[in-house]
């Protein structure tokens, strides 16, 4: 684990750490879902914008590389299902992409970058209910930083990073930010998930 410090930020994971963590989660998904068993249900990865979308794509690529099984990865827009809409700036709707045959009777794995209060995942579960009826819904996150406000727990966690209420976790991804890293910000105001994780 890399720990580079700059004033109020600490780099917790560098690019190589993020890559290894994604690979480990992919192996765990293959094992837990029995993905390489021909009788297993279809697995669908749905990324929660914004960080979960590229993570879902990376996981799908690694899973195919390790197991030889192609799996669908898409996006699940949760904008209209959030409970903090009146407290935040207006957000543009993003497309929801699911398999054309739907998600009924599939193992759906929601993918996000940071698990914090659990409110984003609650919104994702509400949005998913309007898309179809999955056999099972699981959750994969790169970082679990604690401070849950709802009884939600991830099935696959890259790293547990306990934080205080005046710290924030920022995940930067190559597809969105030009580099892969996870940083801890100290001395930030405690605000709701979705604004500062």
Tens-place pLDDT, residues 118-163: 999 999 999 999 999 999 999 999 999 999 999 999 999 999 999 9
For residue 183, being part of any structural domain is answered with no
Tens-place pLDDT, residues 66-122: 999 999 999 999 998 987 665 555 566 777 888 889 999 999 999 999 999 999 999
Residue 100 maps to which CATH number?
A: 3.40.50.2020
d(CA 9, CA 28) in angstroms, rounded, equals 30
Look at residue 193 and tell me whether its pLDDT is greater than 50.
Answer: no
For residue 2, being part of any structural domain is answered with no
d(CA 166, CA 184) in angstroms, rounded, equals 10
What percentage of residues in the chain have a pLDDT greater than 70? Answer: 87
For residue 172, being part of any structural domain is answered with no
What is the separation of C-alpha 20 from the centre of its chain, rounded to a whole number of angstroms? 16
Domain count for the chain, please give it. 1
For residue 180, being part of any structural domain is answered with no
For residue 143, being part of any structural domain is answered with yes
For residue 190, being part of any structural domain is answered with no
Which residues make beta-bridge pairs with 140? 111, 156
Task: Please report the pLDDT score of residue 73 as a whole number.
Answer: 96
Give whole-number Cα distances, 196 to 47, 63, 70, 83, 88, in Å.
Answer: 18, 30, 34, 16, 12
For residue 140, being part of any structural domain is answered with yes
Report the mean per-residue pLDDT for the chain.
89
By residue count, the chain amounts to 197
Domain span at 50: 18-85+93-162
d(CA 54, CA 113) in angstroms, rounded, equals 9
d(CA 28, CA 34) in angstroms, rounded, equals 10
What DSSP state is assigned to residue 131? H
d(CA 136, CA 195) in angstroms, rounded, equals 29
For residue 131, being part of any structural domain is answered with yes
Please list, residue by residue across 4-37, b when 16 or more beta carbons sit within 10 angstroms of its beta carbon and e when fewer do. Answer: eeeeebbbbbbeebbeebbbebbeebbeebebee
d(CA 91, CA 142) in angstroms, rounded, equals 24
Q: What is the mean pLDDT of residues 166-190?
A: 91
């Amino acid at each position: 684990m890399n720990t580079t410090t700059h004033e109020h930020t600490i780099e917790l994971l560098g690019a190589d750490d993020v890559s290894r963590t994604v690979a480990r989660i992919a192996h765990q998904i293959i094992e837990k879902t029995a993905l390489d068993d021909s009788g297993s249900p279809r697995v669908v990865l749905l990324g929660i914008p914004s960080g979960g979308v590229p993570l879902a794509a990376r996981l799908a690529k690694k899973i195919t590389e390790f197991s030889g099984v192609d799996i669908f990865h898409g996006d699940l827009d949760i904008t209209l299902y959030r409970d903090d809409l009146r407290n935040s700036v207006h957000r543009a709707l993003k497309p929801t992409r699911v398999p054309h045959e739907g998600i009924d009777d599939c193992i759906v794995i929601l993918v996000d970058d940071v698990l914090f209060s659990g409110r984003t995942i609650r919104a994702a579960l509400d949005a998913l209910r309007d898309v179809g009826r999955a056999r099972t819904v699981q959750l994969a996150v790169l970082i679990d930083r604690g401070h849950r406000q709802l009884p939600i727990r991830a099935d696959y966690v890259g790293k547990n990073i306990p934080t205080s209420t005046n710290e924030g976790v920022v995940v930067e991804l190559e597809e969105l930010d030009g580099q892969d890293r996870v940083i801890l910000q100290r001395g930030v105001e405690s605000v709701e998930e979705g604004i500062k994780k």
